[in-house]
Amino acid sequence: MRPLRTFLVTGIALFMVTLDNLIVTNALPAIREDLGTGLEGLEWTVNAYTLTFAVLLLPAAAIADRYGRRRLFIGGLALFTLASAAAALAPSIGVLIAARAVQGVGGAVLAPLTLTLLAAAVPAAKRPVALAAWSVMSGLGVALGPVVGGAVTESVSWEWIFWINVPPGLVVLALAPRFLTESRGPAKRLDLPGTALITLGLLGVVLGLVRGNGHGWTSAQVLAGLLGGAALLAAFLVREARAEHPMLPLGLFRSRGFTIVNLVGLTMAFAMFGTTFLLIQFLQAVLHMSPLEAGVRSLPWTGMPILVAPLTAPLAARVGPRNVLALALACQAAGLGWITAQLSPAVTYGTLVPGFVLAGIGMGLFFPPATRLALAFAPPALTGVASGVSNVGRQLGTLLGVAVLGAVFEAQGDMSSPQHFADGLAPAMWTATIALATAAAVTLLAPSRTPDAAPLPAPDKAPTVDEAKSTTPVTA
């Protein structure tokens, strides 16, 4: 009974967090019109969530181990629910961005703890089944995000994509104290200076990228953001190399395989989720789809991983996980390349479908071998940290993808007309396609032979988010 109750609470919380990754995409045109913002405001609506989510994943897990996982889970859920209500009530784009940043904090707390609490409540013999169910909830949240966002935006208003988090959030808050058992992990020192350096550094870089076209790449505020952010990120790396208890153990990257797998993981997120941000708006602004139509018609892309991911295990057994990873990236590059080659204001949806399917197949093939290789190339003692680092890298890829591809879009086009939109979207899409094709080639530089997969952790060292991504991904 306890495992079922734990899954009920953690599963609903996980679904809320993963749903919010993509639910906002189909509401962006409505938000732009209602709040009178431009592309910069929309980028920050996405990136404010991703930035706080990415940089706080590792510190949040350490805090939970020290002060209690159930206690922090309840606190994170309360924060996420309140921030959702604040986003729904936002009278301006600035307030919405601030609420999304707070949502990201709550999401960073919840995402790893849903898995940690579930693994601790399930007997070892049944843990693989529980982790598979956890992955299904994650995958459903990702696949349904655009559809739910489109349906809610079209039938009610964009504010309700945030209001829908409040009722389940309140229900889980009421159930969690009774259904979850408190647990703690080994007390870890918190790297607060490191967290501050990477947060401010990324904020500066993203701020410079987002504002570069509008304010001029040589303007004082853009240069200050780019150069100041880069300096802070360099200071972060220096600190992590010298810190006794670093948030990011740089020694992990002495492994060529680990470095390559994480680099291509960041690139995949950069390309796929940066283009999602722009393509969903293209479907509505240029092809004149309603929010719901755009969500449903993106399913050949976002929903394909649920169908494809289970096939990766037998394929990896036959050709090796490294080769499956390279194939996944090549499929994604081919899919985006197909879409880009067809782009024009007069393009039909049917012409784009083969590209969506190819890109979706690539996403489905990517996550299981990427997770397996990241863990296999890491020292056994750092398996948990390695999985967390991989997840953070993908979140950072999403953050940079929206910022960089948005900057490429603005440099060549705008949203004033279908033709201008297509003119800006094409170079952004080609940038993503080239990045993915390059990543596919770089993947083949990783060692073809890896150590055996790490054993499943015991309840007091439950797996983190990436360790359970054997069937479906958590994205951002």
Nearest to 212 by CA among 86, 392, 40: 40
Q: CA 140, CA 11: separation in Å to the nearest integer?
A: 11
Q: Tell me, what's the pLDDT at 450?
A: 63
Q: Tell me, what's the pLDDT at 475?
A: 45
Backbone angles phi, psi at 91, to 5 degrees: -90, -10
Q: Tell me, what's the pLDDT at 423?
A: 92
Q: CA 234, CA 239: separation in Å to the nearest integer?
A: 9
If DSSP codes are grouped into helix, strand and coil, which group holds residue 159? coil
Query: For residue 345, what are the CA distances in angstroms to 297, 303, 316?
Result: 17, 26, 40
- Which residues are CB-contacts of 318 (< 8 A; sequence separation ≥ 6)? none
- Which residues are CB-contacts of 90 (< 8 A; sequence separation ≥ 6)? 35, 96, 99
Q: Tell me, what's the pLDDT at 243?
A: 83
Encoded amino acid at 270, one letter = F
Q: At what angle do helices 93-121 and 39-67 cross, to 10 degrees?
A: 30
Q: Tell me, what's the pLDDT at 128?
A: 67
If DSSP codes are grouped into helix, strand and coil, which group holds residue 89? coil
Q: Are 51 and 203 in contact (CB under 8 A)?
A: yes
Q: CA 404, CA 220: separation in Å to the nearest integer?
A: 19
Q: Outline where 321-417 has alpha helix (H).
A: 321-342, 349-376, 383-412
Query: For residue 215, what are the CA distances in angstroms to 41, 194, 221?
Result: 14, 30, 8
Q: Tell me, what's the pLDDT at 244?
A: 80
Query: For residue 216, what are the CA distances in angstroms to 131, 211, 470?
Result: 48, 8, 44
Longest dimension (CA), the chain: 62
Q: Tell me, what's the pLDDT at 390?
A: 81
- Which residues are CB-contacts of 55 (< 8 A; sequence separation ≥ 6)? 108, 195, 198, 199, 202, 392
Q: Tell me, what's the pLDDT at 470?
A: 36
Nearest to 273 by CA among 363, 167, 149: 363
Q: Are 374 and 255 in contact (CB under 8 A)?
A: no
Q: What is the pLDDT along the chain (476 residues), one digit of tens a residue?
A: 677 888 889 889 988 888 887 788 888 889 999 998 888 888 889 888 888 888 888 788 778 878 888 899 999 999 999 999 999 999 999 999 999 999 999 998 888 888 778 877 877 777 667 766 777 777 777 778 888 888 899 888 999 999 999 999 999 999 999 888 887 766 667 778 888 888 888 888 888 887 877 778 888 888 998 899 899 999 989 998 888 878 778 888 888 999 999 999 999 999 998 998 899 889 998 999 998 898 888 888 888 888 887 888 888 888 888 999 999 999 999 999 999 999 999 999 999 999 999 999 998 888 888 878 887 888 777 766 777 788 788 888 888 888 889 889 988 888 888 999 999 999 999 999 999 999 999 999 988 776 544 443 443 444 443 443 333 344 44
Q: At what angle do helices 349-376 and 256-285 cross, to 10 degrees?
A: 160
Q: What angle do CA 77, 17, 361 make, to 5 degrees?
A: 165
Residue 4 is encoded by which pair of tokens? 């079922």
